[in-house]
A and B are shown apart, each in its own frame.
Chain A
């Protein structure tokens, strides 16, 4: 038994290459035990590969990792007995019913038949799947399937659970339910490592966030730290007339000496403001130049903006791998 360590996951220089692509490139990751940790990045950033390595599914090409204090290379079996993975694609058997899936996993994890059935029913009830318990999984909706999938991961409550894009493709209600499950798991002391391409999801759930892009970790910290690292707040201005936007952008660029982002709303533009004074000055300059301001807001940067600032491209653009 290893000593109880403070970190649920610790990696040093973890690397995985597929052909010429460095899917994961020398990642140093530290996930504090008991936290919800978010790996944030666009499609193809290497999040899934990183999680698969930590869940013992894919062997790293270089670097070291300790998971729950166990060495990834030498003690994979000990790791497997304490972690669970809910993959990006349903990792349950579609030909079986919901109950059969859970009973099967209970048996595989060492429960006797009666215990396995009891646990399956408890989970079906807890995840709102009792009515569908005896239907085969291919009749389930995306949200039901996802809940069953997470239920399958906690037939025996793990110390660390990997959730690979747990809410991708879910409707808002199902997404809320998954968030509820994640929070309940964390409250019970389970470490949650989740990947997401949704910035608000990482913002809402995760205690700490690592931003991953093209296989490398480009930033790490709490949501507040990440926002602060990008600098001051963002000034967002909406004009009454869209044809004034180009002129307004020039005014802002001149007064604040930063680049201006033209938003998809044809009347809106945003920029970094050096605090309230800078913002006030910029707004005054806009009025003086004859721009009619419909409204404005000064706020902390969103994670979208963090991502843009860190990578030079927006998070929503899908990277070709």
Chain B
């Protein structure tokens, strides 16, 4: 027999009363399960705020570098270039942050907490939908940082507060659609850093071969074909127009349709992999 200490006895009594079978609560609704996961995403930002650093850092550095290094050469003055660049930087910042949807999901898979969530009697997409909803706060923080920096540097949005806010809102919709691409990758790749590398591999060509940094009219023909087809180009065009107060319905609808198309393809794909993951 092992000796039983007093602390163990106290432990045992509390233990037994906690274990006694309790009434099983009714199943959580799809909405409350998703919101519980968004709450988790918010807690992670609170406990590990530095996770935003590396991805928001890149657009901030690029905004500063491109404006002051190339701005004068590209647009005559750095001020004129910043007017052109800032909506693009904003898009770049949020797209980079959106990768975290995949990185975070992959971390859950590799750490084992994913298994617990998958054995819960909940609406199955809740983990991913809730995570993407929680990411909205990250996007808002990243947007605020880039726009704040722009304003400090002298950016003047002709579209005013409404223009900027609707620009951010449209960007959030697109990031939610794109998030499903990252969750698909997050379930397919082996490690969180592999998801990150793959994300960079996709995002760098898409953001550089677009109209984020330069006006595509000077590009060689073959590259223009790519740039014009690039969804990031369309997104940046819509963002510029909104923030300049000159947006057309067609520009906005293009982005909304693209966001819906991304979700329509990659949400079912994510869920299929989720269900069949070993």
Chain A residues packing against B (C-beta within 8 Å)? 18, 52, 55-59, 77, 80-81, 83-85, 87-97, 100, 104-105, 107-112, 115, 119, 122-123, 125-128, 136, 152-154, 156-157, 176-177, 180-181, 184-185, 187-190
* Chain B residues within 8 Å of A119, by CB: 22
Q: Is the CB of A110 within 8 A of B2?
A: no
Q: Contact string, B18-38, partner A, CB cutoff 8 A, digits 1/0?
A: 111110111110001100110
A108–B36 touching, CB < 8 Å: yes
Q: Does the CB pair A184–B12 fall under 8 Å?
A: yes
**Would you call B218 an interface residue if the criterion is a C-beta within 8 Å of the partner chain's C-beta atoms?**
no
Q: How far is the CA of A303 from the CA of B48 in the complex (A)?
A: 47
| From A107, A152, A153, A184, contact of B36 by CB (8 A) | A107
A100 to B117, CA, bound (A): 15
- Indicate if B39 sits at the interface (CB-CB under 8 A): yes
**Separation of A184 and B9 alpha carbons in the complex (Å):** 12
Residues of A within 8 A of B16 (CB): 184, 187-188
Partner of B25 from the list A18, A109, A187 (CB cut-off 8 Å) is A109
Which of B119-127, B165-173, B209-217 faces chain A?
A: B119-127
Could you pull out 27 A-B pairs where Cβ atoms are within 8 angstroms?
Answer: A56-B119, A57-B115, A57-B118, A59-B276, A80-B120, A81-B24, A87-B116, A93-B44, A93-B113, A100-B40, A104-B40, A107-B28, A108-B36, A108-B37, A109-B28, A110-B24, A110-B26, A123-B18, A156-B22, A156-B24, A177-B8, A180-B11, A181-B19, A184-B15, A184-B19, A190-B19, A190-B21
Interface size on B, residues (CB 8 A): 43
Q: A-B contact count, CB below 8 Å?
A: 138
From residue A13, how far is it (CB to closest CB) to chain B in Å?
19
Q: Which of chain A's residues has its CB closest to B26's CB?
A: A110
Question: Provided the pairs A107-B28, A108-B33, A184-B15 are in contact, do residues A157 and B121 lie with their beta carbons within 8 angstroms?
Answer: no
B248 at the interface (CB under 8 A from A): no
Q: CA A110 – CA B27 in complex, angstroms?
A: 5
Interface string of B90-128 (1 = CB under 8 A from A): 000000000000000000100111011111111000100
Chain B interface helix/strand/loop/mixed: helix
Given contacts A108-B36, A187-B16, contact A55 B22 (CB under 8 A): no
Given contacts A59-B276, A110-B24, A176-B2, 12 further A-B contacts (CB under 8 A): A81-B24, A87-B116, A90-B112, A94-B111, A95-B48, A100-B40, A107-B28, A126-B14, A177-B8, A180-B12, A184-B16, A190-B21
**Residue contact B44 to A90, C-beta cutoff 8 Å:** no
Contact B278 A58 (CB under 8 A): yes
Query: Would you call B17 an interface residue if the criterion is a C-beta within 8 Å of the partner chain's C-beta atoms?
Result: yes
Residue B43, interface by CB 8 Å: yes
Whole-angstrom distance between the alpha carbons of A190 and B278 in the complex? 27
What chain B residues lie within 8 Å of A180 (beta carbons)? 8, 11-12, 15
| CB closest chain-B residue, reference A179 | B2
A126 contacts B121, C-beta separation under 8 Å = no
B residues near A (Cβ < 8 Å) are 2, 8, 11-12, 14-22, 24-28, 32-33, 36-37, 39-40, 43-44, 47-48, 108, 111-113, 115-122, 126, 276, 278
The residue on B at minimum CB distance from A91 is B116
Bound Cα distance from A181 to B8, whole angstroms: 11
If A85-B115, A110-B27, A152-B116 touch, whether A96 touches B122 (CB-CB below 8 Å) is: no
Question: Do residues A85 and B116 form an inter-chain contact, with CB atoms below 8 A?
Answer: yes
Across the interface, do B43 and A92 meet the contact criterion of CB distance under 8 Å?
Answer: no
Chain B residue contacts of A185, Cβ below 8 A:
19
A262–B94 Cα distance when bound, in Å, is 67
* Chain A: minimal CB distance from B133 (Å): 15
Q: Once the chains bind, are A80 and B25 in contact (CB under 8 Å)?
A: no
- The answer for the CA separation of A109 and B14 in the assembled complex, in Å, is 22
Known: A57-B118, A157-B22. A128 touches B11 (CB 8 A): yes
In whole angstroms, what is the CA distance A190 to B108 when docked? 28
Shortest beta-carbon distance from B119 to chain A in Å:
5
Please determine whether B40 and A96 come into contact, CB atoms closer than 8 angstroms. yes
Q: Are B11 and A177 in contact (CB under 8 A)?
A: yes
Docked pose: A111 CA to B33 CA in angstroms = 11
Q: Pick from B17, B33, B112, B126: contact of A87, CB below 8 A.
A: B112
